[in-house]
Amino acid sequence: QVQLVESGGGVVQPGGSLRLSCTASGFTFSSYGMQWVRQAPGKGLEWVAFLSYDVSKKFYADSVKGRFTVSRDNSKNTLYLQMNSLRPDDTAVYHCAKLRDQWDLLPRSCFDPWGQGTLVIVSS
């Protein structure tokens, strides 16, 4: 079955960096766009970034633009999120999710399924 497993979360000081990974299985990873969504403790979902299946399209939320970079290695079935200049308000569980439709270059339609997430805490 389709499975997404995030890793790489942890505690980091303000201004620091962290790289998250999302390892996929059960589907042809190289055919699907992927996204990152985060959820601060006790808060709602916030869309973070999208990367098309062929890496030609990248889109970011204004809150992370210039600080976060999304990438993928289709040979390793893995999606990444490089997070730099981290701030306390970046503290959240970070979920990755698979675009429902194959070959779509844009984050339209919907995402299914989602991973369980990895917790990032930015604190001194």
Partner 1 sequence: QSALTQPASVSGSPGQSITISCTGTISDIGSYNFVSWYQQHPGKAPKLMIYDVSNRPSGVSNRFSASKSGNTASLTISGLQPEDEADYYCNSYTTSSTLVFGGGTKLTVL
Q: Any contact of residue 115 with partner 1 (CB under 8 A)?
A: yes
Contacts of 97 (CB under 8 A, 6+ apart): 4, 34, 35, 36, 37, 111, 112, 113, 114, 115
Q: Any contact of residue 114 with partner 1 (CB under 8 A)?
A: yes
User: What are the start-end ranges of the H helices in the chain?
Assistant: none
Q: Any contact of residue 47 with partner 1 (CB under 8 A)?
A: yes
The rounded distance, in Å, linking the Cα atoms of 89 and 71 is 22
Q: Any contact of residue 33 with partner 1 (CB under 8 A)?
A: no
Q: Using the structure block, give the residue that is written with the tokens 């299914």.
A: 112
Residue 92: how many CB atoms within 10 A of its CB? 22
Q: Any contact of residue 54 with partner 1 (CB under 8 A)?
A: no
The answer to whether 17 touches 89, Cβ cutoff 8 Å, is no
Q: Any contact of residue 95 with partner 1 (CB under 8 A)?
A: yes
- Minimum separation from the CB atom of position 13 to partner 1 (A): 27
Q: Any contact of residue 46 with partner 1 (CB under 8 A)?
A: yes
- Minimum separation from the CB atom of position 80 to partner 1 (A): 19
Closer by beta carbon to partner 1, 62 or else 66: 62
- Minimum separation from the CB atom of position 100 to partner 1 (A): 6
